Amino acid sequence: MTVGLLDTLDLAAPPGAIAPPLAALWWLMKGGLAPGPAWDRAHAICQRREGDPAHDLVHGFAHWIEGDIGNADYWYQRAGERRGDSGLRAEWERLAAQLGV
C-alpha cells in the first residue's frame, strides 16, 4: 500500500486526504530521506503536534534521517517505540504501513 503514497511524489505537495503524520513521511521521502527543505517541512508538521504518538514517531524518524540519533531515540521513546535497524527506506515503509497507508 505504501506504493500508492510513493506514486504521488511527483506532486508539489502531499495528497490532501492524508493525515498530517503521513504528510510528514511524504515530505521526508520527497526530500530523498535527507536533510533539506522537505525535511524542514516534515519536521514542522511533527512539531505542531508534539505529544501525539504518531507525530512523535515521525519526528524521531526525521531526526534519524538528520543523523541526530540521540534525539531520534528520544522521540521514538516518547512514541513508545524503538528505532528500527533495517535502514531508512525500510523504516519509512514500516512507519507508512503502521500509520495507515
- CA–CA gap between residue 68 and residue 72 (Å, rounded): 6
Residue 58, pLDDT above cutoff 90? yes
Residue 98, pLDDT above cutoff 50? yes
Residue 3, pLDDT above cutoff 80? no
Q: Which pLDDT score is estimated for 4?
A: 82
Domain boundaries, the chain: 18-98
Residue 94, pLDDT above cutoff 90? yes
Residue 23, pLDDT above cutoff 60? yes
If we measure between CA atoms, which residue out of 26, 41, 31, 10 comes closest to residue 99? 26
Could you read off the pLDDT of 75-88 as tens digits, one per residue? 999 999 999 888 99
- CA–CA gap between residue 41 and residue 46 (Å, rounded): 9
- CA–CA gap between residue 85 and residue 5 (Å, rounded): 23
If we measure between CA atoms, which residue out of 77, 97, 98, 96 comes closest to residue 30? 96
- CA–CA gap between residue 100 and residue 72 (Å, rounded): 21
pLDDT band at 11 (very low <50, low <70, confident <90, very high): confident
